[in-house]
């Protein structure tokens, strides 16, 4: 609260800069990594819990193959953000039955200079968390309340569980995420600064 009061007392241009930097830093340096870590741990606990009662192979089938819609959302999130940031998407796979331990993958090539490549790395890597939560919000608050029978309700619940099950970031995702993180924070802060300035219809002085 004290920090918020301090921002409100700042001159307009400085407050816009402060808001932009704080929001971006919180999102990319804390919210995304912590969320990815939490869902990684939940996935580990889920597998360990199932392994106590059933065969590990059946556990992996339930946790991974049975939740294929979540894999699809996860991998296509990578692909969409790669495309949006200018990367070249070479291949999308959502069911790698011949690759042990791999559910799916997106093969993409970086383009452009340092700044563009940093955005491609970081945003593409964390895309499943961003897109996953967007889809969850739509399903939970947009689609589920309109369901008219038990079958529809169970289908939406199944989709929600499948997506939640794949909101984690893989070690490869985390590695790529960190490579472009600092540049992404700076660029997104500047973009957010401009958006706030335009929204409030006042000029930003830098």
- In this model, does residue 118 exceed pLDDT 90? yes
Compute φ and ψ for 183, nearest 5 degrees. -65, -40
- Which tens digits make up the pLDDT trace of 48-64? 888 888 887 787 777 77
Q: How many domains does the chain have?
A: 1
Residue 89 near residue 110, CB atoms below 8 Å: no
Helix axes 181-200, 114-137, angle to 10 degrees: 70
Let me know if residue 7 belongs to a domain.
Answer: no
Q: Which pLDDT belongs to residue 9?
A: 47
Question: Which residues face 203 on adjacent strands?
Answer: none
Task: Output the pLDDT for position 52.
Answer: 85
pTM for this one? 0.82
What average pLDDT does the segment 29-42 reach?
89
Flag whether pLDDT at 186 surpasses 80: yes
Residue 83 counted as domain residue: yes
Percent of the chain at pLDDT exceeding 70: 84
Arithmetic mean of pLDDT, 170-190: 91
Cβ atoms of residues 128 and 77 within 8 Å: yes
Residue 6 lies inside a defined structural domain of this protein = no
Can you tell me the mean pLDDT for 86-107? 78
Per-residue pLDDT at 10 = 47
Extract the tokens encoding 59. Answer: 């556990």
Which of 48-52, 95-99, 119-123 shows the lowest mean pLDDT across its residues?
95-99
Domain range for 193 is 13-198
CB within 8 Å of 193: residues ≥ 6 apart:
16, 17, 19, 20, 204
pLDDT, one tens digit per residue, over 62-81 is 777 788 899 999 999 999 99
Considering only residues 97 and 111, tell me which one the structure prediction assigns the higher pLDDT: 111
Would you say residue 71 lies in a domain? Answer: yes
Residue 2 lies in a domain: no
Is residue 171 in a domain? Answer: yes
Q: Check pLDDT > 90 for residue 89.
A: yes
* pLDDT, average across residues 175-184: 94
**Does any domain span residue 3?**
no
């Amino acid at each position: 609260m004290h920090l918020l009061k301090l921002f409100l007392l700042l001159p307009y241009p400085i407050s816009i800069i402060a808001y932009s930097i704080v929001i971006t830093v919180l999102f990319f340096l804390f919210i995304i990594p912590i969320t990815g870590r939490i869902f990684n741990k939940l996935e580990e606990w889920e597998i360990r819990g199932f392994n106590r009662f059933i065969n590990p192979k059946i556990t992996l089938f339930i946790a991974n193959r049975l939740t294929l819609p979540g894999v699809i959302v996860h991998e296509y999130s990578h692909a969409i953000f790669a495309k949006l940031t200018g990367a070249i998407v070479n291949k999308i796979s959502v069911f790698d039955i011949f690759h042990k331990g791999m559910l799916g993958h997106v093969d993409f090539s970086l383009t452009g200079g340092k700044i563009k490549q940093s955005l491609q790395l970081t945003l593409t890597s964390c895309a499943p968390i961003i897109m996953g939560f967007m889809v969850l919000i739509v399903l939970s608050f947009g689609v589920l309340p309109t369901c008219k029978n038990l079958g529809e309700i169970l289908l939406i619940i199944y989709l929600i569980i499948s997506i939640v099950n794949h909101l984690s970031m893989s070690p490869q995702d985390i590695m790529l995420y960190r490579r472009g993180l600092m540049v992404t924070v700076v660029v997104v802060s500047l973009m957010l600064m401009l958006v706030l300035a335009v929204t409030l219809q006042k000029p930003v002085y830098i």
